[in-house]
């Protein structure tokens, strides 16, 4: 598959489920679980208030320890949006029904 086609597919997949900062704020204020999928070091340097840190590379192995039921809304974020998109896919495949992707933490504003 040509590189451009792969890039278009990746970008179109990332757009699905993407939240604006305003939408993410509303969901979290209504009780959504806020999930930071960056590394522990990045999380320690600063994170959104109330967020729980589970690095994306550990997410599949720790799904059962997430303190949410599969019908509770989840808002996931990272630094740039790549890891949060991957995390959203993992969570949806695991049966979590309502997963929104904020993308990068800077989108929170």
78 is catalytic: yes
**Order of strands across the sheet with 74-78?**
52-53, 33-36, 74-78, 99-104
Name residues whose C-beta falls within 8 Å of residue 65's C-beta, 6 or more positions apart in sequence: none
> E strands of 1-109, at which residues?
33-36, 52-53, 74-78, 99-104
Catalytic-labelled residue, pool 78, 91, 99, 105: 78
Task: Give catalytic residues, as residue numbers.
Answer: 78
């Amino acid at each position: 598959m040509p590189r451009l086609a792969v890039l278009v597919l990746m970008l179109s997949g990332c757009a699905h489920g993407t939240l604006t900062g305003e939408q993410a704020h509303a969901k979290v204020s209504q009780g959504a679980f806020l999930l930071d999928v960056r590394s522990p070091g990045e999380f320690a340097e600063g994170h959104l208030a109330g967020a729980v840190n589970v690095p994306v590379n550990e997410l599949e192995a720790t799904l059962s320890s997430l303190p949410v039921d599969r019908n509770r809304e989840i808002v996931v974020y990272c630094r740039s949006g790549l890891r949060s998109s991957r995390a959203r896919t993992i969570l949806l495949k695991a049966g979590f029904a309502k997963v929104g992707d904020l993308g990068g933490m800077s989108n929170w504003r």
